[in-house]
Amino acid sequence: MEQASFTVSSWQEQPIDNLNENFPVNQASATYQLSGALSGTASVEYLMTYQGSSMADGLEAVAQVVGFLHFEGTYLGKKGTFTACEKGTFTQGLLDCPGELFQASGELASLSGRYTYEFSQEEALLHLDFV
Residue 95 lies in a domain: yes
What pTM, to 2 d.p., does this model score? 0.90
Residue 20 lies in a domain: no
Residue 56 lies in a domain: yes
Q: How many domains does the chain have?
A: 1
Span 51-88, pLDDT tens digits:
888 888 888 889 999 999 999 999 999 999 999 999 99
* Eight-class DSSP state of 110: T
CATH of the domain at 51: 2.40.350.10
Residue 62 lies in a domain: yes
Residue 52 exposed, middle or buried by CB count within 10 Å (0-12, 13-18, 19+): exposed
Domain span holding position 68: 2-15+25-130
Residue 42 phi/psi, 5-degree rounding, is -120, 130
